[in-house]
Amino acid sequence: MSFGSRARAAMAAYGPACVGIDPHASLLADWGLPDSIDGLDRFAAIAVEAFAGQVAFVKPQSAFFERFGSGGVAILERTIQDLRHTGTLVILDVKRGDIGSTAAAYADAYLAEDAPMASDAITVSPFLGFGSLMPFFHVAERNDAGVFVLALTSNKEGHEVQHARSGDVTVAGSILAQLAELNSGQSPMGSYGAVVGATIGSTEEDLAINGPLLVPGFGAQGGTIDDIARLFAGVVDNVIPATSRGVLSAGPNVEKLREAAVEVNRLLVGS
**Cβ contact 117:109 at 8 Å:** yes
How far, in Å, are 45, 52, 82, 200, 229 from residue 86 at the CA level? Answer: 15, 6, 8, 33, 30
pLDDT tens string 28-42? 999 999 999 999 999
Q: Which residue in 59, 95, 156, 256 is the catalytic one? A: 95
List, for residues 136-187, the tens digit of each pLDDT value.
Answer: 999 999 999 999 999 999 898 999 999 999 889 999 999 999 999 999 999 9
Among residues 205, 206, 207, 209, the alpha carbon closest in space to that of 186 is found at: 209
Is residue 256 part of the annotated active site? The answer reads no
- Compute the average pLDDT of residues 240-261: 97
Percent of the chain with pLDDT over 90: 94
Could you report the per-residue pLDDT of 58-106, keeping only the tens digit for each? 999 999 999 999 999 999 999 999 999 898 999 999 999 999 999 999 9
pLDDT band at 271 (very low <50, low <70, confident <90, very high): low
Residues 6+ apart with CB under 8 A from 118: 80, 84, 110, 111, 112, 143
* Confidence (pLDDT) at 219: 79
pLDDT band for position 223 (50/70/90)? Answer: confident
Share of the chain above pLDDT 70, in %: 100
Residue 160 is predicted with a pLDDT of 94
Nearest to 249 by CA among 264, 234, 238, 236: 264
**CB-based contacts of 268: which residues, under 8 Å, 6+ apart?**
15, 16, 17, 225, 228, 241
What is the average pLDDT value for the chain, to the nearest integer?
96
Domains in the chain, CATH or no CATH each? 3-270 (3.20.20.70)
On whether the pTM is more than 0.95, the answer is: yes
Q: Sort strands 239-243 and 213-215 into parallel, antiparallel or unpaired.
A: parallel
Alpha carbon separation from 40 to 44, 159, 178 (Å, rounded):
6, 34, 38
- Could you give the count of Cα atoms lying within 13 Å of 125 in the half-sphere of its Cβ? 12
Res. 221 pLDDT band, cuts 50 70 90: confident
205 backbone dihedrals φ, ψ, rounded to 5° = -75, 155
Span 197-225, mean pLDDT? Answer: 92
